[in-house]
Amino acid sequence: MALLDYLLGQKKKPSAMQARDRLQILLAHERLQAKAPDYLPKLREEILQVIAKYVDIDDENLQISLDEENGFEVLELNLILPESKR
Amino acid sequence: MARVIVVTSGKGGVGKTTTSASFSAGLALKGFKVAVIDFDVGLRNLDLIMGCERRVVYDFVNVVQGEASLKQALIKDKKTPNLYILAASQTRDKDALTLEGVGKVIDDLKADGFDYIICDSPAGIEKGAQLALYYADEAVIVTNPEVSSVRDSDRILGILQAKSKRAIDGETPVVEHLILTRYNPSRVAAGEMLAMQDVVELLSVDLLGVVPESEEVLQASNAGIPVILNEDTSASEAYKDIVDRFLGENKPQRFLTVEHKSLFKKLFGK
């Protein structure tokens, strides 16, 4: 197969590069997670309860994450509202 | 002043014990008084790698529990002067080690005039691994150029920076070193293996050295000899460089490219 790829001039990304790229993304994500305050899951739970009083939403439709941008810590809250029934 | 060094990795089977054995033997060869402690309670192996498995009478847990003195439990290495081994217990469970107990053993070793205390960590991030790194002044992170090993090393670095005594007490942080083991330059050249620069960049830790993948490591462990003592092998040379760099010598990195054996060496050499 390798010979065929070579003859056809197809070049796959070397697997070591894939490893590096995947790790770059993963480690950045995991380092942030490790630094995230302990109250985040509880905060998420309580926000969800408040929203549920007014809108009928799914548990998975609320995402909370802590990111760093330009030296500021940003608490990002992402909520997908259900389509309103007519 | 004695230094406590933890050899750790998160992942198992990457070469922690091999590295602990050769690193401590290398420091002892330089004239330092060295104690190497196996923290892997229940799965002791350092004694086997160092070839003293038949001389273990008392172990680390016996000392921590006050059932034996440190003097009774320390095994004097037969091949290298100034080197002492404290074996892990094979029969007890992990809870036999306590933070205070470990701290007392380390203090007693310091009082006994040891220059370096090497803590060979068990795999994982549980209690045993955390105990091994708690008192560390410096850490040697052993990593393979492979995704899961790099990820686990990053995790253990996070734990060092958060849960070591130095981190908790707000002292100067634990000094971190990286040793990349099982490195295969020809696979790196073929784009099949993470390159040294990539791993160093991903983990952002200073590189102490690269140990090439070699048959000699298995042969040394078969014989119960730290591979650093097997003269004229690449692994031995690599670990000697690592010890020199650790002691402050400025040696260029080796074993990063494929070595082509000369025809003469192929025919007559090893």
User: Under an 8 A CB cutoff, do A16 and B158 touch?
Assistant: no
Integer Cα distance of B148 and B112 in angstroms: 39
R_g over Cα of chain A: 21
Among all residues of chain A, which has the CA nearest to that of B157?
A: A31
DSSP string, B80-134: STTEEEEPPPSSS-GGG--HHHHHHHHHHHHHTT-SEEEEEPPSSSSHHHHHHHH
* ipTM rounded to 2 decimals: 0.85
| Nearest in space to A68 (alpha carbons), one of A25, A20, A27, A31 | A31
Most B CBs within 10 A among A23, A24, A31, hence the mutation to make, goes to A23
User: Under an 8 A CB cutoff, do B147 and A19 touch?
Assistant: yes
Map tokens 């150029």 to a residue: B145
Q: How close B197 gets to chain A, by Cα (Å)?
A: 10
- Global confidence as pTM: 0.85
Give A53-80 pLDDT, tens digit per residue: 988 888 788 888 777 778 888 888 888 8
Integer Cα distance of A43 and B136 in angstroms: 35
Most A CBs within 10 A among B152, B184, B194, B196, hence the mutation to make, goes to B194
Give B56-97 pLDDT, tens digit per residue: 999 999 999 999 999 999 999 999 999 999 999 988 777 889
User: Under an 8 A CB cutoff, do B147 and A24 touch?
Assistant: no
| First vs last C-alpha separation in chain B | 42
- Position B265 scores a pLDDT of 64
The answer to whether B186 faces chain A, any CB pair under 8 Å, is no
Chain mean pLDDT for chain B: 94
pLDDT band at residue B9 using 50, 70 and 90 as cut-offs: very high
The CA–CA distances, whole Å, from B258 to B77, B186, B212, B225 equal: 35, 6, 10, 27
Integer Cα distance of B180 and B193 in angstroms: 12
Residues of chain B neighbouring A22 (CB-CB closer than 8 A): 147
- Position A66 scores a pLDDT of 77
| Tokens read off for B160 | 């060092």
Question: Which parts of B18-81 are beta strand (E)?
Answer: 34-38, 75-76
Q: What is the DSSP letter of B192?
A: S
126-185 in chain B: CB under 8 A from chain A: 146-147, 150-151, 154-155, 158, 162
Backbone CA torsion sign across A60, A66, A68, A73: positive
| Tokens read off for A65 | 């994450």
User: Under an 8 A CB cutoff, do A31 and B194 touch?
Assistant: no
A-B contacts at Cβ under 8 angstroms:
39
